[in-house]
Amino acid sequence: MILGLQEMSWSYIGAVLANQSDTAQAEFLKGFIKECLTWGTKFQIEQQLAYVNDKLTPEERQLLGMLSYEEVTK
């Protein structure tokens, strides 16, 4: 049991999130990041994200790269 919820399907939650607006998706990611920042150190967050990264395919990692894309302005 996690947070009082039973049988949580993360793939289902991901599928629902994928079909939400960019605003809702950004809100989710901001909440995720805000919670991670309560862990104590940036190293702990980076280590956790590295573990997640290791479980993704190269194609999945490439797509997620767009989350940190910054447009170059002249």
Q: Enumerate residues 6+ apart whose C-beta is below 8 A from 36.
A: 45, 48
Token reading at 13: 């939650």
- pLDDT per residue, tens digit, the chain (74 aa), is 556 666 779 999 999 999 999 999 999 999 999 999 999 999 999 999 999 999 999 999 999 999 988 888 77
Distance, in Å, from the CA atom of 16 to the CA atom of 47, rounded to the nearest integer, reads: 27
pLDDT at 16: 96
Structure tokens at 31: 């909440």
pTM: 0.79
Residue 44 in contact with residue 51, Cβ under 8 Å?
no
